[in-house]
Amino acid sequence: MNRIKHIFDFSKKEQYAILLLLVIILLSSIFMLVSDQIFPTKHLAIDGLADSVRFFEHSITNTKHIRSETSSFDITDPDVSSVRMRLNPFPFNPNKMPAETWRELGLEDYQIRAIHNYEQKGGKFYSKADFAKMYTISEEEYAILEPYIRIPSLESHSGIPQKDPTLSTALTTNKTDSISKEAIFSIVDLNSADSTELMEIPGIGKWFAHRILKYRTALGGFIHPTQLLEVYGIDSDKYEQVIPYIEIDSNAIQQLKVNHLEFRELLQHPYLKYEQVKELVSYRERRGFITSDELFRQVVSIDDEIFGKLQPYLDYR
């Protein structure tokens, strides 16, 4: 007891200090309780801030809408998408075109200078292929601009029409010296042609030839000409333009070895989706080989139209 009593044995000064501290604490507590009634808090008006936030949200939404309407960026093909967003194509004749018109088309100043330098040295665009040869024009740019190029039929002073170097043509004249522009083209097999042979088809330049070869590899070869419509950039007009000059040897296709290819290899085929390949590989690992079209369709959820296109490529051996 003496020890405890000794702990609380304060001097007079210490007792006064403790008492004063307790009073200050008590007064502070009372002040905090009644301060809201005595001094009401003035809340800042934030109506303006709310309006600003709503305006900002509207701006973002509107910007996204405008971008979605004016241009769609294809993340699977960023090079082409970025060029497509920059160019503003319209029908044009590349010969002697002023710089302002080239700029409206979307070309950069260095490209325009190269074209004008070419013309100042006597160069002239007799065909679309001549324009494609400009080193400042990329394949992606040419693929987008090519449908809009309009070059009138040009004749030399001797009356002989200039030959388009991209086409294998035979030009003849009749007895009255009138010019006949009837062209003779060879038929190209889509499953064996290289890029040079494909470029001999009217309307197929370097870019489309590259796309056709890339899609042919993914497919394993073409079965039917209408598969050209699945190639990026080929629409119905382009298809009608090239169809008279192509043929298909369907015996040359490379079949899809369903039971032996790895997941990544199967996924590369244009007619198979991720979930379908996943189901296919999972079944193979659990149950073994797939041996027929009926079993394939049981394992893989696929509609009739797509299966009809895929079936000629399936190899269950």
Section 18-38 average pLDDT: 80
In this structure, is residue 268 part of a structural domain? yes
Q: What pLDDT, on the 0 to 100 scale, is given for residue 176?
A: 35
Closest CA to 222 of 251, 199, 195, 260: 251
Look at residues 252, 277, 293 and tell me which one is the last residue of a structural domain: 252
In this structure, is residue 53 part of a structural domain? no
In this structure, is residue 61 part of a structural domain? no
CB 120 within 8 A of CB 179: no
In this structure, is residue 20 part of a structural domain? no
In this structure, is residue 165 part of a structural domain? no
Residues 286 and 232 in one domain: no
Look at residues 209, 231, 252 and tell me which one is the last residue of a structural domain: 252
Residues 81 and 139 in one domain: yes
Residues 283 and 217 in one domain: no
The Cβ of residue 304 has, within 10 Å, a number of other Cβ atoms equal to 8
What are the angstrom distances between the C-alpha of 230 and each of 71, 115, 202, 211, 309?
A: 21, 34, 19, 10, 12
Determine the structural domain holding residue 238 and report its residue range.
188-252
In this structure, is residue 59 part of a structural domain? no
What size, in residues, is the chain? 317
Tens digits of per-residue pLDDT, 96-149? 889 888 998 899 998 899 899 888 888 888 888 888 888 888 888 888 888 888
Residues 284 and 248 in one domain: no
Look at residues 252, 268, 293 and tell me which one is the last residue of a structural domain: 252
Tens digits of per-residue pLDDT, 205-260? 888 999 999 999 999 999 999 999 999 888 888 888 888 899 988 788 899 999 99
Residues 149 and 89 in one domain: yes
Helices (H) and strands (E) in the chain, counts: 15, 6
Tens digits of per-residue pLDDT, 69-85? 344 555 555 666 677 78
Of 43-57, 97-111, 119-133, 187-201, minimum mean pLDDT range: 43-57
Residue 60 has pLDDT above 90, yes or no: no
Residue 171 has pLDDT above 70, yes or no: no
- CA dist 275 and 283 (Å) reads 12
Of 4-18, 133-147, 176-190, minimum mean pLDDT range: 176-190
In this structure, is residue 72 part of a structural domain? no
What percent of the chain is modeled with pLDDT above 70?
A: 72
Tally of domains in the chain = 3
Token pair, residue 86, equals 């920059």
Q: What pLDDT, on the 0 to 100 scale, is given for residue 36?
A: 62
How high is the mean pLDDT of the chain? Answer: 76
Residues 84 and 132 in one domain: yes
Give the CA-trace dihedral at 281, 283, 287, 293, to 10 degrees: -100
Residues 273 and 241 in one domain: no
